[in-house]
Amino acid sequence: MLNWDVQDVRRYKDKPFEFEEELDLTKELTTRSKDVLDADKVLVKGQLFNDNGLVISDVKIKTTLTVPSTRSLLPVELPVDVRVNEAYNVDSVADEEELEQYNVVIPVDDENPTINVYESVIDNILLSIPSKVLTKKEEEENIMPSGKNWEVISEDDFNSQKEEEHVNPEFAKLKNLFNNNDDKE
């Protein structure tokens, strides 16, 4: 399952090794992250290319996760559509300059030379979860949690309240001036 022997991939010298699988990763995703409540089947489609001692992966991942709203903890369906490119350093022959052009370079174990895209798929799904997730209603109405004698306000609202409370000291002196005039009359 998304795990291939390097020799099998190397047989595809002139064309890419193509794959497409539909996986149920719900257990793996919910075990690795408490932020994942549920997951639809994951469609993984990609290619592996041989390139001078490297195996380059180009993988597209599609699924829908159910995650809690970061504001209310209500469940939110979050579509995930990620493209991942990684380089597997198979023969350890690539020099540093050659490796710098890739975002991720994964060394391949000499004793067990396999290309494991499975773990990469799980990692990249989890990395695609944003830090702020809201329900549609929370997004549209900008609803903030509140309770008896308390409420959560946005940073913008906080700053505007702070500006309203800030009194210019020059005007504060004038305020006392009018109080003195009332006493004289």
pLDDT reported for residue 175? 64
pLDDT lower than 50: segments of the chain: none
pLDDT at 35: 94
DSSP 8-state code for residue 90: S
So what's the pLDDT on residue 99? 65
Q: Where would I find the H helices in the chain?
A: 6-10, 26-32, 96-99, 117-127, 136-141, 155-165, 169-184
Instruction: Give the mean pLDDT of the chain.
Output: 84
Angle (CA) 104-116-106 rounded to 5° is 25
Domain range list for the chain: 3-140, 144-184
| pTM tops 0.85 | no
Supply the pLDDT for residue 48. 93
Q: What is the pLDDT of residue 69?
A: 94
Nearest CA to 58 out of 46, 67, 70 is that of: 46
